[in-house]
Amino acid sequence: MNQFKKILITGGAGFIGGALVRYLLKNTNCSICNIDKLGYASDISSINEIESAAKRHKFIKIDLIDKSSIEKIIKEFNPNLIIHLAAESHVDRSINSPIKFIESNILGTFNMVETATRYWEKLDSKNKRIFRFHHVSTDEVFGSLCENQVFSESSRYDPRSPYSASKASSDHIVRSWHHTFGLPVVITNCSNNYGPYQFPEKLIPLTILKALKRENIPIYGDGSNQRDWLYVDDHIHAIIKTLQCEKIGETYCIGGNSTKTNIQVVETICKILDNKKPSNTSYKNLITFVKDRPGHDKRYSINTSKISNELDWYPLYSFEEGLLKTTSWYIENLDWCEKIIKSSGYMGERLGV
């Protein structure tokens, strides 16, 4: 990582982006330019708490549909590396308002690769050789699996929601800019992330907070839909591994080797809470099955053989370890939860109907 002295990160105020920025500030000496539009789920308080952030972290509020501002920022900052994380990411919200996902995930990505390519082309030979554009994507672009099947880097694209369709489009844009214009890119497709600082609309933090408030815990359909769960710190370590690799134009699938049904996830959280915050009755009694999400993909699961074999990356956290750490963090940081929920206007209501 020492060759990347100046790193520009899009979406660095989001859940995964924030975890990446915190890691880089604590474990490298690089300077970071963090650009984010500060949407409803954004938060930079955890970054500002790091001592080195004042000198090595610069935050700029910007929407990626503003191409001229992106050009100005890249030109002034002169990055060796761009990590593109910014994206609208919640499937339910993409059902309610698809246009936001088209603008952010497709047009925003186009603006980033177009600007990055023009910048890269003007670099001298040494810096041109170092420069990298890393695009962070999702396994949802591959669609839905049958039982016992897994995604890999060769899986065909088959997106089923406005969100996954917009991310599939962004993958194709990045890959085509590499093949057509030579932009040195790497693409990673990750499974469902979880961990501290995740906005409470996603399954795991929503379940924790609903349970602690003794409210009904909603589960779509019969709870049999399956996801491969990846602890966010493991995802960050995988991204770092891919940046240390000399290959360009590669795609790596990143998963937690922890495929679980939604009901298994929720019941495990309830069991943890029964031990950590015991009540008169089990938190499992709060589980309520609700009408399924439209177009709900049945199963996601990732084969991590390529990144394991080529880059020696393996998830460090088992699902049980990661979920215990995550649940404990939310119990200890209810003030943060209340603050971000209040500022967002989201109060735990059903979305994507």
Report the distance separating Cα 91 and Cα 17, nearest Å.
19
At 136-174, the pLDDT tens digits run 999 999 999 999 999 999 999 999 999 999 999 999 999
pLDDT band at 245 (very low <50, low <70, confident <90, very high): confident
Instruction: Calculate the average pLDDT of the chain.
Output: 95
Residue 96 exposure: Cα atoms within 13 Å on the Cβ side: 10
At 282-304, the pLDDT tens digits run 999 999 999 998 889 999 999 99
Question: What fold is seen in the domain 6-195+229-259+296-317?
Answer: Rossmann fold (3.40.50)
- Enumerate the β-bridge partners of residue 65: none
Q: Return the pLDDT at 348.
A: 78
Report the distance separating Cα 148 and Cα 256, nearest Å.
16
Structure tokens that stand for 41 in this block: 């789920």
Residues labelled catalytic: 139-140, 163
Contacts of 255 (CB under 8 A, 6+ apart): 139, 151, 190, 191, 228, 230, 301, 302, 303, 304, 315
The pTM is what? 0.96
For residue 251, is pLDDT > 90? yes
